[in-house]
Structure 1
Amino acid sequence: MNLSIVAALAYGILALIGGIIGYIQAHSQVSLLSGTISGLLLIFAAYFQFQGQNWALILAVGVTVVLVAFFAFRLAKTRKFMPAGLMIILGTLALAVMVNQLVSFQ
């Protein structure tokens, strides 16, 4: 198992849990829906990467880029580190691992 699988799986679980926490704390159905969809997409991407499907790494990179961009806009708007700042930092780390793996495939 390579690090891009671990990164996609960890960030997916974090997004999923974050969506659930956002719903519990703020009753935000948008947080629940977006966290569930993005988290499950990343978990599925990790699973298919483990199965040897190269397209899954591209999916994981795409979802992670969208999440990092979303949380960057959210941090700029709210100026609150939690949860946006944490998700940007962890997403950037996950993205660096995934892009490194993607470049090594080429």
Structure 2
Amino acid sequence: MNLSIIAAFAYGILAIVGGIMGYVQARSKVSLLSGGISGLLLILSAYWQLQGQPWGLTLAVCVTGVLVVVFALRFAKTRKFMPAGLMIVLGALTLAVMAHQLLGL
């Protein structure tokens, strides 16, 4: 198992937990739905990578990239580090790990 699988799985769990927290704190169904879908896609991409499917990594990079952009827009609007800033930082680290694997460095 390589680091990109672990990164995709961990960021997926974080997205799901964040979506649940957004729903609990603000009754945001959008947070629950988007966190659940993106988290599930990241967990599935980690599973597919583990099964040797090369497109699993591509899917993980795409989903993580979209999440980073969404959270960057939210951070620009709210200027609050939590949760948007934290998700940007962790998403960027996740993308760096995945890019390292994708480019074969």
Which residue number in structure 2 is paired with residue 18 of structure 1? 18
Identity fraction in percent: 71
- After the TM superposition, which residues 73-84 of structure 1 pair with which residues of structure 2 at under 5 Å, given as runs? 73-84=73-84
Separation of aligned partners in 2, 1:50 and 1:76: 36
TM-score (norm 2): 0.99
Q: Deviations over 1:38-73 (max 9, x none)?
A: 000000000010010000000000000000000001
> Which amino acid counterpart does residue 89 of structure 1 have in structure 2?
V
Q: Secondary structure at the match of 1:52?
A: coil
Q: Structure 1: state its 5+ residue gaps.
A: none
- After the TM superposition, which residues 3-82 of structure 1 pair with which residues of structure 2 at under 5 Å, given as runs? 3-82=3-82
Q: Structure 2: state its 5+ residue gaps.
A: none
Q: Deviations over 1:70-95 (max 9, x none)?
A: 00010000000000000000000000
Separation of aligned partners in 2, 1:17 and 1:47: 19
Q: Secondary structure at the match of 1:77?
A: helix
Q: Secondary structure at the match of 2:104?
A: helix
Separation of aligned partners in 2, 1:95 and 1:9: 13
TM-score (norm 1): 0.98
Separation of aligned partners in 2, 1:28 and 1:73: 17
RMSD across aligned C-alpha pairs, in angstroms?
0.9
Q: Secondary structure at the match of 2:97?
A: helix
